[in-house]
Amino acid sequence: MTERLPRTLADLATLVAGTATGAADTAILGAAPLDEVTAGQITFIDQPERASQAAASLATAVLLPVGIRCEGKPVIEVADVQVAFAKIVAAFRPARRTATPGVSPAAFVSPTAKLAEGVSIGPGATIGDEVTIAAGSTIHAGVHLMAGCQIGTGVTVFPGATLYEDTVVGDHSIIHSGAVIGAYGFGYRQSEGRHELSAQLGNVVIGAHVEVGANSTIDRGTYSSTRIGDGTKIDNLVQIAHNCQIGKHNLLCAQVGIAGSTSTGDYVVMAGQVGVRDHVHIGTGARIGAMAGVSNDIAPGVVAFGAPAIPERDQKILLASLAKLPELRKEFKQMRKVVADLENRDAQSGLGPQAIAPAA
């Protein structure tokens, strides 16, 4: 490991195209989040209310958004703090030695597979018949690409992922460890008292710049393709069932489960543990809150949560009403007592209902 050389405030400002205030030659030895920063390091804040905490910290300098002040510290102002701080952290990390592109002798590659220039295949990986891998893609150790898979340019498949036959992965997509893509869909029909597996003749088609999280699963289509649109990001432990059509630039957070033949528009967001029934459509720009249960179509742009998931305004009214139920129950009991007392008084005075009934 190479020794980390000190940098100056001016160096880091140049690196992130920021504006430095303070001594330009202030030495910076590393970078850390505000809760972990020590003397000699630069930290960052992205909210004004954290400025006083940063000022009181051991940090030697502070990275912050344009317009936020941090008294008593050298600072670097930038437009996007998260992007800039990532560059600074990377600058202090020693460069890791990367393997020269090529096929590990411990990998198995079918003689009918086609590998473009600059492809890397790690040890223990298996590349099946008629697989094609485009330039610059990296297939890590223990990956299994079954027959007919098509891997685009600059794709990374991390260790232990499995892609069933005929899976297609678009350019610059990332498949994380343990992901299983193209497994059989959970579809059965009853025949003579037994559950018979339905046809599994489709595949999975993943667009460009898609990320599939660790241990996530995407099932193959029954007759055609399960599709994931360009730019969609799938978190860890997500299940997407057979025949689903997921739009572009969706965000599907951890433990989302989507049943078969469901479709989404573009820029849909589903928070953690959202469950979606089969054959529904979630419109473009819709956002579904954590642990929601989607049982009907969701219109474009709607923010919905709850089980069943309904629009945010309706759900808030419902929750507010539920919160008032104990009070309403108490009032109802009091009203019943008042009515009972009135009825008893009228009965004792002879003014019950029979007293005022019309004469026959």
Q: Which of 160, 156, 187 has the alpha carbon at shortest distance from 174?
A: 156
DSSP 83-95: HHHHHHHHHHSPP
**Rounded to whole angstroms, how far apart are CA atoms 107 and 103?**
7
Active site residue 242: yes
Kindly state the greatest CA–CA separation across the chain: 110
Q: Which of 256, 304, 236 has the alpha carbon at shortest distance from 246?
A: 256
How many C-beta atoms surround the C-beta of residue 272 within 10 A? 16
Distances (CA, A) of 137 to 104, 315, 329: 14, 46, 65
| Letter string b/e over residues 55-82, b meaning 16 or more CB atoms within 10 A of that residue's CB | eebebbbbbbbeebebeebbbbbbeebe
Q: Cα(first)–Cα(last) distance of the chain, in Å?
A: 108
Residues in CB range of 217: below 8 A, 6 or more apart: 179, 180, 181, 183, 238, 239, 240
**65: helix, coil or strand?**
strand
* DSSP strands (E only) in 229-306: 233-234, 239-240, 245-246, 251-252, 257-258, 263-264, 269-270, 275-276, 281-282, 287-288, 293-294, 303-305
Distances (CA, A) of 89 to 31, 46, 71, 78, 252: 6, 16, 23, 15, 27
Region of 355 on the Ramachandran plot (φ > 0 left; ψ -120 to 50 alpha; else beta): alpha
Q: Which of 132, 122, 244 has the alpha carbon at shortest distance from 177?
A: 122
**Rounded to whole angstroms, how far apart are CA atoms 114 and 94?**
34
Which one of 144, 176, 209, 242 is the catalytic residue?
242
Q: Which of 259, 221, 253 has the alpha carbon at shortest distance from 237?
A: 253
Active site residues: 242
